[in-house]
Amino acid sequence: MQKLMLAVLIAAMVHIPTAEASYIGSLNSDFPYTLEVTTTSRVAVTILFVVKGRLDVEEILVFDSTSPALTRTIPPRVDRIIFMADASPNGNGVVKISQGTTTRFEVPVNPHDAIVVDPCKGDPCS
């Protein structure tokens, strides 16, 4: 019993870092979005879809300084989109998400913080 209490005490004292995700707004699901990464190194972007409470890995992309912007559509069943970006060691970058000619979001690459957006219908999309 004492060993169990000691194990519980130690487990309570151990700090486990929490995952973070910054909600930055909405994308209009009626229109495609463009994903562009500005970097001097390499940046990997993982696109995850939340569909009915399940997490689906949609795509894993790697960008470098010469990579073109990529245009993607939002499937109708998606409830939330999560972009996870990570740069190579000592690298950095900026993830830019646009719709049409409008830059919707511009976020620095941070491997400890995911970018979260919700799809919405109609215009304007706030």
Q: What is the pTM of this model?
A: 0.78
Low-confidence residues of the chain, pLDDT below 70? 1-20, 123-126
In one letter, which amino acid is 56? Answer: D
Nearest to residue 51, comparing CAs of 83, 82, 77? 77
Answer whether 116's CB lies under 8 Å from 22's CB.
Answer: yes
pLDDT tens per residue across span 92-103: 999 999 998 889
| ω into 124 cis (within 30 of 0) | yes
User: Phi/psi at 75 (nearest 5 deg)?
Assistant: -60, 150
Residue 83 confidence (pLDDT)? 93
What residue ranges do the domains of the chain occupy? 20-120
